[in-house]
Every structure is written in structure tokens, then in C-alpha cells.
Amino acid sequence: MSRSSRTLMLGVVALVAIALVIALTGGGGDPEVDAAPSTTTADPPDATTTTSTTTATTTTTTLDPRFVELVERTSELIENATPEELAYRLVVTGLTGTDLAGRLRGTVGSVCVGGVFLTESNNNWTPVDDPEAFRAALTTTGYDAWFESGCEFPPLITTDAELGSVVRVPVDSPAAAPDWTARYVSGEPYNVLLDLQEQVFDYATKLDDLGIDVNFGAVADVATAPDHFMARQGRTFGDDPGIVAALANAVVQGHCDAGIAATLKHFPNQGATTEDPHRERSTAIGGVDLWETTGRLPYEGTAAPLVMTGHIFMTDMDTEWPASLSPAITTDLLRGELGYDGVVITDDLSTMRGASDIIADPGDRAVAAIQAGADLVLFVDDRDIPRVVEALAAEMEADPDFFMPRAQSAVRQVLRLHLGLREPELFPLCRPQG
């Protein structure tokens, strides 16, 4: 089901916008969204039909009453959610087979998860090259189905569709990243960026037509050597951080223009590692000093609605944990120094040895990632999820002073992303950070 058939109506007046923000922040105290105070003492208009009057136009918008009720109760929903309910909301899970809703209810244990990750390698639709088969796989997990199942917010539908290389869904991709870099350096950079943004808009529109919400496909890795992992795979925009930042930004903006949330990856910089984190521990060569002059630039002030942390060690910053599990890298560096306040999601925590070799138990890996500052943990193997939820819920009960509010804040971040997907005029997907 495309977003054109499930997106809620736009153009809500400022009073309703403030009400939504207050609902998400619980009345204040969260840095994710700042709302201007309301100066009116009048009773709010009927929430289902709102009239906005300015000096230029008058707009009447009818909202889905289920959504209005939901945003009015968001703070209450988060505060009253059980640890287990919150835990499910922190998880993006891969699913095995074509019965997506059945797999969620059976193996995973709940349909009310933070998101689902769909890929041809998990046999989520057949035949794998057929867009209609993909859409059919979502018919029992569409927007209306989540409301009917009792989930207040539908899980995010996510996939991985990079430019020309890793494309997990049945869509035709623009040219691969190195081709765009070659055009950029040999032609007119401004026109190349416009062309890239337009082609990515068309690409993301195809993802939207499939029913995708989030694409883990905006690669911002700066190749610090031609024999390093991402360069060997031909997945980066090259070794010039300025060019990488410009092209990655065009990719992000093209997605936002199409109403799809792009994920900038892999923080801090997978382009500085020789090892494949799927297979072994991965360490950034050159550490923080090299990162400052290379990998930092694509993330400075990024408007990307999500950033993915990689299983990447920067040993002069944290000798114990990779970025995905490191408070020093996720919270202090990404959140603190760079000022990023969008959604942070980890790279896969179930099958990649760059994480599983560090912490053996999948539940403990998830706890470490949320403690480090992630808002969502990605597990492509759905068999891990019961243990992950058990561990996250247990940690909330054991640590009500830190981990519980950390989990609640993470869920608020994800709900804010939902608003960006469904009310982009009020909550823009692309927001400059820092």
C-alpha cells in the first residue's frame, strides 16, 4: 500500500501542532522537539476538522480521528506502557517468509514492534523481482491493519536500497555511487547534485509505492584507502569528504522530498576500516584524528532523519565498545559534539560478528546499544527478538532511574519520526542538525 493511500491529511493549524509536540514530549523536558508556548486561552477547535486562516489562504483539513486521538494520548501511552511494550517498540526486526503478520505474532511475539526490515534474502515475497508480490506481502500488515490489531503506531516498514549496489527490494536503482562521483568531478557539480536529487526522488517514490517508510540506503562513508572494505565493494562516493557530504546530502534530500526517511550510514565511518564487520571485528584506521578530517564532515549539520551507527571501533575514543555499543561515540560524539537529534539506529545486531563477537548474548547487545544512545536496535534474525525483548524489559525494571527514561525517550524519538512521515508540513523529515 503506497503512502499516497495512507498518509494523513496535511496543513494542520499551529494550535494542533503545539498539541502534538506537547503530547510527544510529555509536556517538555525532552530535547527532541521544542514547541513554542501557546498564547491562546480559547478552547481548541474540533480536532477532526480544523480551519487555518492566514493573510494569504484559508485551509480546511480533515484528520483521521484515530490519529488525532492517538497524538492526544501519546505521552500517556509512553508513560503507562509496560517495560515489555516499550521493549518491542525499540526493535526493528527482520522476518522470515511471506506471512509477515503471522511471523510477528508467532516467532516475534507481538505485531507492535518498532519496525520490520524486509529483504529478498529473507524470502519476504515471491517472486523476488515482482513489485506486486512485494505489495501483496504487505496487505495483512498495512496501515489500517495495525490500528485494527491494537497497535497505536504501525511499525516502520524498512529496507536497504543503496545506489546501484545493495538493493533489497524490487526497484530499479540510479547509477552506483562511484559513477556519480566521476560525474561530479568531471562536470558541473551543481547540476550533478540536482540530477542526483531528482533521480533519488524518483527512486524513493518507487519505494514509497511499495509501502516503504525508511531506507537504510544513504551511504556517507569516506574511503580513506582504496583497499578498505567499503571502497572494495564500490559502495562509497569516494575519498573526498566534501564530495561525499554533498552527494550524500542530495541522496537524503531526494528521499525526504518523496516522503521517505533516509538513513545516513555508517557512523562514524565504515570507509576507514579494512575489515568487513559482517565477518570480524572492525577498526577505524587512523582513529579520531583521521576521522576529524574525513568521516566527520558528512554528519556535520546533516538533515537526515536517521543515522545508523556501525560496528566500528575507534580505539582512541573507546577501547571496549564499537560505535553501535559505545556511549562515548553514540552519545558524546554523535549526539553531543555533533548535535544530532534525529533517530539513531544500529546496524544489524544479530548476524554481524563486529557486534556478536563483542557481546555474545543478543539481549545484552540490545541493552548495551540503547544504553549507548540508540533509539532503535536492528535485528535481521527474528528468532532473536524474544530474548532481546526479555533483556530490554528486565533492564528497565532493574534500572528505573536511567534505563527506563532512556527507553521512553527513544520511543518518543521514533514516534516523532512517524509524525514526520505522516505530517511532514508540521514535522519535516529533513531537519538541519547541530
Q: Assess if residue 429 is contained within a domain.
A: no
Domain that residue 30 falls in: 3-74
Q: Grid coordinates representing 295?
A: 568521516
Last residue of a domain, one of 43, 74, 105: 74
Structural domain contains residue 337: yes
Give the whole-angstrom CA distance, residue 410 versus residue 133: 33
> Per-residue pLDDT for the chain (434 aa), expressed as one digit of tens each?
444 444 332 333 233 343 444 344 443 333 233 333 333 333 322 333 333 333 333 333 455 565 566 667 777 888 889 999 999 999 999 999 988 888 988 999 998 999 999 998 888 888 988 999 888 888 765 555 565 667 777 899 999 999 987 889 999 999 999 999 999 999 899 999 999 999 999 999 999 999 999 999 999 999 999 999 999 989 999 999 999 999 999 999 999 999 999 999 999 999 999 999 999 999 999 999 999 999 999 999 999 999 999 999 999 999 999 999 999 999 999 999 999 999 999 999 999 999 999 999 999 999 999 999 999 999 999 999 999 999 999 999 999 999 999 999 999 999 889 888 988 877 789 987 65
Report yes or no on 433 lying in a domain: no
Chain-centre distance of CA 109, in angstroms? 22
Active-site residue, selected from the candidate residues 30, 160, 347, 375: 347
Is position 432 within any domain? no
User: What is the DSSP secondary-structure string of 255-296?
Assistant: HHHTT-EEEEEEETTGGGBSS-TTTS--BBTTHHHHHHHTTT
The amino acid present at 78, given as its one-letter code, is I
180, 192 in Cβ contact below 8 A? yes
Do 26 and 127 belong to one domain? no
Contact 376/398 with Cβ under 8 angstroms? no
Pairing of β 91-94 and β 115-117: parallel
Q: What is the CATH number of the domain that holds 333?
A: 3.20.20.300
Same domain, 203 and 308: yes
- Same domain (yes/no): 117, 266: yes
Q: Are residues 207 and 333 in the same domain?
A: yes
Q: In this structure, are 276 and 298 located in the same domain? A: yes
Q: Does residue 181 sit in the same domain as residue 61?
A: no
| Domain contains 427 | no
Both 47 and 124 in one domain: the answer is no
Q: Annotated catalytic, 30?
A: no
Count other C-beta atoms under 10 Å from residue 248's C-beta. Answer: 27
In a domain? residue 138:
yes
| Same domain assignment for residues 254 and 321 | yes
- Looking at 17, 40, 74, the residue that finishes a domain is 74
Instruction: Look at residues 31, 56, 74 and tell me which one is the last residue of a structural domain.
Output: 74
Do both 292 and 371 map to the same domain? yes
Q: Is 311 annotated as catalytic? A: no
Cell of 204: 524513493
Give buried/exposed letters for 401-431 (b at 16+ CB in 10 A, else e): eebbebbbbbbbbbbbbbbbbbbbebbebbe
Number of domains into which the chain is organized: 2
* Residue 359 located in a structural domain: yes
- Of the listed 278, 332, 361, 364, which one is catalytic? 278
Instruction: Indicate whether 385 and 411 sit together in one domain.
Output: yes
Residues 116 and 195 in one domain: yes
